[in-house]
Structures are given as C-alpha cells and as structure tokens.
Amino acid sequence: MSNAVRRKGGDEVEVFLGIGSNLQQPQQQVKRAFSALQALPDSRAARCSPLYLSPPMGPKEQPDYVNAVVRLVTRLAPHRLLQQMQAIERGQGRTREARWGPRTLDIDLLLYGDLVLDSPELQLPHPGIAQRAFVLYPLHDIAPDLTIPGLGTVAELITQVAAGDLVQIRQNA
C-alpha cells in the first residue's frame, strides 16, 4: 500500500469529493454543499462537475439522486476533512438512519491525493469509486486523466461502466 500523497505546493493536497442528495430540493442541496466546501478552513474548492440525475443505488422506493464531484485543494488531514464534511451534512439536515436510504446530503471523500488508506472510519480510494457511474462520469468531466491508485485512470475506468440511467442535468445559462 502506498501512503504517498500528491501535493500541490507546500502542504496542499488535491482531493475529490462526491456529493449526492435526493431530498428537500436536491439540486439546491448540492449547490449549498459546494458553497460550504468553498468555506472550509485551509481549503479551496477548485471545481465542481456538472450535476447528474441518477436512480437510487439502494431501495428503489425513493427519489432519484442529484450527484456531482468536487475537486478541492486542502491542507486538512484526511480524518479532519471527513469530520468537516460530516458537519456540512448535519448542517443540511442529514441523518444516518438507513444504509442507502434517502438523504438530504451525502458527501463522500473519494480520493485524497495518492493516499491509500483502510481504517474503520475512512477507506481511500473510496471503495465504490470504480463501479459507480454517478461518481465516474462527473469525475471524468473534471479530471479524465486522474489516476486512481491501484485502479487506473478515470478515462480507462469509465469505459468499463455503462452510464445506464445517469443523465446530466442541463443548467440554464
């Protein structure tokens, strides 16, 4: 396992976060989450992918999800970043009741530089990153040449995952 971390000048690390919501105006939830990520200490949200609509991964008796991927540059350590992400989720009404159940907001730490980590609280790269269209397609929009440690580039991985019912949401200019 590699513990190398890609650094962007000084102590900064390039990280990628997945954002999803299917309750209480999901598009607005995702946009508010991006704004909250931009306000994190020692961090700057550099880019947000287009929004996508996707069917739920778990129980089908729930609304479709709005998903996006954010590129963030941060000095926060992985577990501290996770705590900040969970605080944003709670601030937007997230409760943790049912696995894969409906939620106002879900923020996943997908990649933290080149770090490979397997702890009870956090696994990096995110375990489902290579199989989930709602992660790979938005990630491809902002970082197609990004290498996911142990898996390959996003451009390579996306060829193995069908878009299925994933639909990019067209934003009005």
Residue from 108, 151, 157, 105 nearest 136 by CA: 157
Please tell me which residue, 17 or 11, carries the higher pLDDT value.
17
Q: Flag whether pLDDT at 106 surpasses 60.
A: yes
| Tokens at 5, concatenated | 């971390």
* pLDDT, position 50: 97
Specify the pLDDT at position 74.
Answer: 97
Three-class SS of 115-155: CCEECCCCEECCCCCCCCHHHHHHHHHHCCCCEECCCEEHH
Q: Please report, rounded to a whole number, the percentage of residues in the chain having pLDDT higher than 70.
A: 91
User: Looking at residues 9-20, what average pLDDT do you find?
Assistant: 89
pLDDT digits (tens, 9 = 90+) for 67-93: 999 999 999 999 999 999 999 999 987
The residue from 32, 108, 114, 132 that is catalytic is 108
Mean pLDDT of 39-56: 94
- Among the CATH numbers 3.40.50.2300, 3.30.460.10, 2.60.40.420, 3.30.70.560, which is that of 13-168? 3.30.70.560
Q: Annotated catalytic, 106?
A: yes
In this predicted structure, the answer to whether residue 172 has a pLDDT above a threshold of 90 is: no
Catalytic residue among 11, 75, 99, 103: 103
Whole-number pLDDT of residue 173 = 45
- Predicted TM-score (pTM) of the model is 0.90
64 is catalytic: no
Contact 110, 16 (CB under 8 A): yes
Query: Would you say residue 139 has pLDDT above 90?
Result: yes
The single residue of 32, 71, 94, 132 carrying the catalytic annotation is: 94
Quick one: pLDDT at residue 144?
A: 98
SS3 label, residue 13: strand
Residue from 32, 106, 114, 132 carrying the catalytic annotation = 106
Q: In the predicted model, what is the mean pLDDT of the chain? A: 90
- Omega before 63 within 30 of 0, i.e. cis: no
Q: Is 99 a catalytic residue?
A: no
